[in-house]
């Protein structure tokens, strides 16, 4: 047996988001947070089907999309493994987290609620040019 999978999928059947897209988004989120790292194994299609009662073709479609994005690779007879991360370097991530927490505290002290904070972050992301298109 290979290494134990490090992610458990959840499916929100009321969200309107296609099931395959939910799986892709959950893997990408786990990569951004450093929960999944290069070399980690994703659950087998059979395990995902059993865990969340989903069509195997949907899981295959998700895994295929992740592979096309260069994030995972299928290894015949072994499973699907994370190829690269979306996470910043750990020390850089810790600094960013600290800065963001300080900013959120300041925003709350200024009277903003979570929705207002999220709106400001979304606006900053929209108006700040991206240096690297990836």
- Tell me, yes or no, whether 114 and 65 share the same domain: no
Q: What is the pLDDT along the chain (134 residues), one digit of tens a residue?
A: 445 557 999 999 999 999 999 999 999 999 988 889 999 999 999 999 999 999 999 999 999 999 999 999 999 989 999 998 886 666 777 888 889 999 999 999 999 999 999 999 888 888 888 765 44
As for how many domains the chain has, the answer is 2
- Tell me, yes or no, whether 43 and 96 share the same domain: no
- Tell me, yes or no, whether 23 and 75 share the same domain: yes
51: nearest Cα among 82, 16, 23? 23
What distance, in Å, lies between the first and last C-alpha atoms of the chain?
A: 34
Domain that holds residue 52: 19-82
- Tell me, yes or no, whether 78 and 112 share the same domain: no
- Tell me the whole-structure pTM to 2 decimals: 0.67
């Amino acid at each position: 047996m290979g290494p134990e999978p490090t992610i458990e999928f959840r499916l929100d059947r009321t969200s309107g988001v296609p099931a395959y897209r939910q799986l892709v988004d959950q893997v990408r989120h786990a990569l951004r947070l450093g929960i999944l790292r290069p070399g980690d194994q994703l659950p087998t299609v059979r395990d995902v089907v059993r865990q969340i009662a989903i069509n195997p073709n949907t899981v295959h479609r998700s895994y295929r999309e992740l592979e096309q994005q260069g994030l995972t690779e299928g290894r015949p007879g072994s499973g699907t493994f994370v190829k690269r991360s979306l996470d910043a370097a750990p020390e850089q991530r810790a600094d960013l987290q600290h800065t963001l927490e300080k900013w959120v505290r300041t925003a709350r002290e200024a009277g903003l609620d979570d929705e207002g904070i999220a709106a400001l972050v979304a606006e900053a992301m929209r108006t700040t040019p991206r240096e690297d298109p990836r």
